Structure 1
Amino acid sequence: MLVAVTGGTGFVGAHSVAAILRAGHRVRLLVRAESTVERALTPLGVDLAAVDVVEGDVLDQFRVDRLLRGADAVLHAASVYSFDSRRHAELARTNVAGTEVVLAAARRAGAGRIGYVSSFGALLPAEGRVLGPDSPVGRPREAYLASKAAAEAVVREHQAAGVPVTITYPPGLLGPHDPKGGDQVTRLRNALRGRMPIWPLGGLPIGDVRDTAALHAGLFAEEGPAENRLFGPGHYLTTRQYVRTLRAVTGRALPTAYLPARAMLPLGLLVGAVQRVWPWHIPAEYGAIYTAACATRVGEPASTGGVAARPAEETFADTVRWLHQGGLLSARAAGAAASETHPAIAR
């Protein structure tokens, strides 16, 4: 099967490409620059000769049509994931308009299977105590989450029309080999570098990018999942549990204060306003605080395509170890996780 993939040089996209290739499929990528493919896929053991590449943007109808020509299936993973207030216009263009272009083109091309990578955040704030496949599209008051909610509405319209599209809802993802240093990995790194001494109370689902990649590969199995809305494997962690897990895998004290998330929202808004003119990234983002304030557990039983979530400690330890080996964390910051004999990462 030839699977056309957008966003294949991002964190979840690159790992998904590797998993799809391991499952025996062929892959064609749509990328803005072919030079990014090697950096994203080589660390994952991908033979670049097995990947066809089309240069272009998800907003370029001609290039999207070229990507889909002759493809049996599509994974639309292209998305801007950022709470940085400087990227608000880009969020709407890529996450919403890009999804409209790709889904419409896939529908015209008659793709037999379509996977769309959404986010649990597209369902926030939740109407009930838990999230599930029947949860309505959220109406979040934050730019990134709002863009994913708007894109989710577009995809659900295609589902309602009978288009064979499956939506996946990854949790916040960690793991090794993040080619672009995305939001979640950067937040973990900042915590270990002492840049996040204050955390909002609340929580969020956290998962391993390799588990979500396995879920995506399963979409294109001979007998794919019966459900058309799947949740990425993961664990709901309170922010206290998040920091405790970091302490456990690094052996570091990581002194941390906690404040009510809703009380911190005005600070997040102020930081967002300053960030528009400040050239360096400020960790105290409104979007992260907002997510902690309204994030909701995924209810049981919610299908994860048969993929079990690996222990959070393993995911955290592998992420920290990779950051250290890549020179992005000092040995002091990585602590015990820098050792290959750490019990959570020893193989």
Structure 2
Amino acid sequence: MRLLVTGGAGFIGANFVHSTVAEHPEDTVTVLDSLTYAGSAEALAPLGDAATLVVGDITDAPLVDELVAGADAVVHFAAETHVDNSLADPSAFVTSNLVGTFTVLEAVRRRGVRLHHVSTDEVYGDLPLEDPTVRFTADTPYNPSSPYAATKAGSDLLVRAWVRSYGVAATLSNCSNNFGPYQHVEKFIPRQITNLLTGRRAKLYGTGANVRDWIHVADHNTAVRAILAGGRVGQTYLIGADCQRSNLDVLRTLLGIMGRDPDDFDHVSDRAGHDLRYAIDPTALRDELGWAPVHTDFAAALAATVHWYRDNEAWWAPLKDAVEAGYAKRGQ
């Protein structure tokens, strides 16, 4: 296939490009990324000329149309994603997540190109802490809590409408929290790892009771590839690895891996409107497409992630001070 990967220099997108080049050398890969603070050309540099990077904005309709015209399929990762940033300034989220997705949809509609739209479980809001057996399904009503989640929910609904109204050949996926290489240091797991690597203390929102359903980025991307290959047009697939952990549990696991005392961290101000629990039911994806996660030992996958950040300080160190300065201004 000739693949166009939007947001392919971001965390999940870059990992998707790496796995595509390694596992599907018959494909040609073009990345469209505006290289905002969250995009990194350095994340693609090890691939050399195996992937082509086009620096441009997802809302640039002529550019998007030109790139889509040369593709067999588009995998749409491009989005603003950090909840804290959306609470501070939601405008960029409206532009990227809504206008950007509209721009992609119009291009694939004109050109008759297959689309896979990547979204988040945060569109569903949150779940109660009391019953861990209750999980999100594709039929769960949308109930977003943050500007980030609201704009991703809006982008999902645009895709569904373009499938129904215009016959666009699109699939959707909503995934739980990812971790792994090349994740920006503003995010929870890499922030704590790099805090400890730089002599800072780890930080925990509130009491740390909030629960997330974690998945290694490589498992997310094998699911995306399976959906791209065999997913039914118009279908939403939920991607998860059955790995619910409280933030406190994740942090204490990290502290143990890094040889620290389990209480060697600071409590900081909680996030506004902080969702209580996310949990994904991936049964439909597993039954229909035969997908299953590989990185099922959470502690081992987390230890490998710590190892990656230790070995790749040159990639994340230039980002670290600015991120921590921003958190400090918010008392976090």
TM-score range normalised by the length of the shorter chain:
0.7 to 0.9
Deviations 1:139-187 (A, max 9, x none): 3231211221221221222233442211122221111233x43524444
- The answer to which of 229-238 and 189-198 deviates more is 189-198
Deviations 1:266-297 (A, max 9, x none): x54xxxxxxxxxxxxxxxx336xx13x2x232
- Give the direction of change, closer, same or farther, for the CA distance of 1:87–1:246 in structure 2 (3 Å limit): same
Q: Contact 1:81/1:182 (CA < 8 Å) preserved in 2?
A: no
Q: 1:225 aligns with which of 203, 209, 231?
A: 231
Amino acid in structure 2 at the alignment position of 1:213: N
Deviations 1:40-82 (A, max 9, x none): 1134xx2x32323333201110110011012110101001111
Spell out the pairing of 1:75-86 with structure 2 (5 A cutoff): 75-82=75-82, 83-84=84-85, 85-86=87-88
- Give the direction of change, closer, same or farther, for the CA distance of 1:300–1:231 in structure 2 (3 Å limit): closer
TM-score by length of 2: 0.78
Q: Contact 2:58/2:103 (CA < 8 Å) preserved in 1?
A: yes
User: Matched residue of 1:78: which SS?
Assistant: coil
Equivalents in 2 of 1:126, 1:157: separation in Å?
Answer: 27
Q: 1:39 aligns with which of 36, 39, 42?
A: 42
How well do the aligned residues superpose, as a CA RMSD in angstroms?
Answer: 3.0
Q: Contact 1:126/1:135 (CA < 8 Å) preserved in 2?
A: no
- Give the direction of change, closer, same or farther, for the CA distance of 1:309–1:220 in structure 2 (3 Å limit): same
Deviation, 1:258, is 11
- Give the direction of change, closer, same or farther, for the CA distance of 1:172–1:184 in structure 2 (3 Å limit): farther
Spell out the pairing of 1:39-118 with structure 2 (5 A cutoff): 39-43=42-46, 46=47, 48-82=48-82, 83-84=84-85, 85-111=87-113, 113-118=114-119
- Give the direction of change, closer, same or farther, for the CA distance of 1:74–1:143 in structure 2 (3 Å limit): same
Is 2:198 the partner of 1:155?
A: no
Q: Contact 1:199/1:257 (CA < 8 Å) preserved in 2?
A: no
Deviation, 1:37, is 6.4
Q: 2:223 aligns with which of 190, 215, 218?
A: 215
Q: Report what 1:339 is aligned to.
A: none
Deviation, 1:257, is 8.5
Aligned length: 295
Q: Report what 2:182 is aligned to.
A: 177
- Give the direction of change, closer, same or farther, for the CA distance of 1:258–1:135 in structure 2 (3 Å limit): farther
Deviations 1:296-338 (A, max 9, x none): 32236241550314121122112211222223899xxxxxxxx
User: Matched residue of 1:130: which SS?
Assistant: coil
Amino acid in structure 1 at the alignment position of 2:231: P
Is 2:150 the partner of 1:146?
A: yes
Q: Report what 1:307 is aligned to.
A: 292
Amino acid in structure 1 at the alignment position of 2:249: Q
Q: Contact 1:173/1:207 (CA < 8 Å) preserved in 2?
A: yes
In the alignment, structure 1 segments of 5+ residues that lack a partner are 269-284, 331-347
In the alignment, structure 2 segments of 5+ residues that lack a partner are 318-332
Equivalents in 2 of 1:300, 1:31: separation in Å?
Answer: 29
